[in-house]
Structure 1
Amino acid sequence: MSAILSTNPQLRPMRHEDLDEIMVVELSAYPYPWTEGIFRDCMRVGYSCWVMTEAQRLVGYGVMSMAVGECHVLNLCVRPECQGRGYGRILLRGLLDHARRHKVETAFLEVRPSNTPAVQLYYSEGFNEVGLRKRYYPADNGREDALVLARDITG
């Protein structure tokens, strides 16, 4: 964490009325963002969808699927102007705590190798590389591989 948070960020379930603000953040944070329809589908099928707010402002969100003792972090995003302040770590820990309460034992995620801050966050939180998905992500020059990371969250 490069700065101390001034107030206590709160996690709460994502609501449909959050989607306009989520899309503002998503479009500003990623060159290949999710669509609003993807977020709607995730909520519709019952994925674990959360937003992080601080002082009534949406600063981040996460989407995670859970099944048969495993969870998969599908999207973890912090508003670009709020990155580097520890929000991503708090959000990731919140998602994993939620998964743990649902008896999940192992967490998985994919990350672009070029996303150095995210890779560093995940490694510092105990994730390890367990695979590589070739040409998984769209990229300016074709496709980019994805690191597949996993972590035991029982302890």
Structure 2
Amino acid sequence: MTSAVENGAELLSGLEARFGPLRFAPMTTDDIDAVVEIENAVYSHPWTRGNFLDSLYSGYQAQTLRDGAHALLGYFLVMLAVDEAHLLNISVAAAHQHQGLGQLLLNQATALGRSNRMRTMLLEVRESNTHAIKVYKRYGFSEIGRRKNYYPAGNNAREGAIVMSLAL
């Protein structure tokens, strides 16, 4: 476990050298406009403002990541149930992708799950999202199943999801 903590500290140090002080905070309704702006920029079928508001009102764990200038860099939402943390959404602003912020968000999301005594983290990812699948596998997630026609796709089509799990 020490190496994971050291790797997390090293990652944070490198990112703060680039972005200035980074801060996680609970997502609030005041964040929704900026969150939806990122969501619309990075997904072909983004969550709506209503989806985010419903998640907050339902008590899901949601956090934002901001830089030293208070710019929103990313966010995640997790639903806690019994002993499972379900990662519902995790996103990094388009201009800041592929720089390690996704891993930092995953570190925070899994830490949140552990601190709430969750034993497993689950997520679904589009079958076509090969970059995210590689990131999750590198992080330690394993494929445990598939959901056919889970996500909307273009031209009234549907796309399958890969279900992944990580022991916390």
Structure number with larger C-alpha Rg = 2
* SS at 1:121 equivalent: helix
TM-score (norm 2): 0.87
Is the aligned partner of 1:59 residue 2:73? yes
Unaligned runs of at least 5 residues, structure 2: 1-10
Q: RMSD over aligned Cα, in angstroms?
A: 1.2
* Cα drift, residue 67 of structure 1: 1.2
Unaligned runs of at least 5 residues, structure 1: none
Is the aligned partner of 1:85 residue 2:79? no
Task: Tell me which residue corresponds to 1:120.
Answer: 134
* SS at 1:25 equivalent: helix
* Cα drift, residue 144 of structure 1: 0.7
TM-score (norm 1): 0.94
Question: Among 25, 32, 38, which residue is 1:25 paired with?
Answer: 38
**Which protein is richer in strand relative to its size?**
1
Q: CA–CA distance in 2 between the matches of 1:54 and 1:92? A: 17
* Cα drift, residue 140 of structure 1: 1.4
Letter of the structure 2 residue corresponding to residue 77 of structure 1: S
* Cα drift, residue 114 of structure 1: 1.1
* SS at 1:63 equivalent: strand
Task: Tell me which residue corresponds to 1:98.
Answer: 112
Letter of the structure 2 residue corresponding to residue 151 of structure 1: L
Letter of the structure 1 residue corresponding to residue 47 of structure 2: W
Task: Tell me which residue corresponds to 2:29.
Answer: 16
Q: CA–CA distance in 1 between the matches of 2:159 and 2:37? A: 24
Q: CA–CA distance in 1 between the matches of 2:58 and 2:115? A: 20
Q: CA–CA distance in 1 between the matches of 2:43 and 2:52? A: 15
Task: Tell me which residue corresponds to 1:133.
Answer: 147
**Which protein is richer in helix relative to its size?**
2
Q: CA–CA distance in 2 between the matches of 1:106 and 1:9? A: 27
Q: CA–CA distance in 2 between the matches of 1:9 and 1:113? A: 31
Cα deviations by residue, 1:33-80 (Å, 9 ceiling, x for unpaired) = 001011001010100011011121100010110011101000000001
Question: Among 54, 60, 63, which residue is 1:47 paired with?
Answer: 60
Q: CA–CA distance in 1 between the matches of 2:95 and 2:130? A: 17
